[in-house]
Amino acid sequence: MQIDDKVLANLEKLSHLRIDESKKEAVKKQLTEILAYVDNLNELDTANLSATFSTLEGGTPMREDLPQSDESVAKDILRHAPNAKDDFFIVPAIIE
């Protein structure tokens, strides 16, 4: 698939991003290359593979889940929120 100006404009609208005019050609080229690479996956015969197929012997390795309590992380995140109070994000009501 070739990314053209119309597709790029639609992607900008959907993503709420604005791409500088001087970079549009480079972005179109990069996106076209990415799609060509992903299109190679269509050549793989996956008909006989299980949905849970893994190349790792014995599945995904597990790690110990250790709880951490660092209050500075939450405060740092909330510091960047547009509206926060009492360690919570304040958002517009969506249910009346």
What is the DSSP code (8-state) at residue 61? P
Confidence of residue 35 (pLDDT cuts 50, 70, 90): very high
pLDDT at residue 17, rounded to an integer: 93
Q: What pLDDT digit, counting tens, does each position of 59-82 carry? A: 777 889 998 888 888 889 998 999
Over the chain, what is the mean pLDDT? 89
* pTM to 2 decimal places: 0.49
Q: How far apart are CA 31 and CA 27, in angstroms?
A: 6
pLDDT at residue 75, rounded to an integer: 87
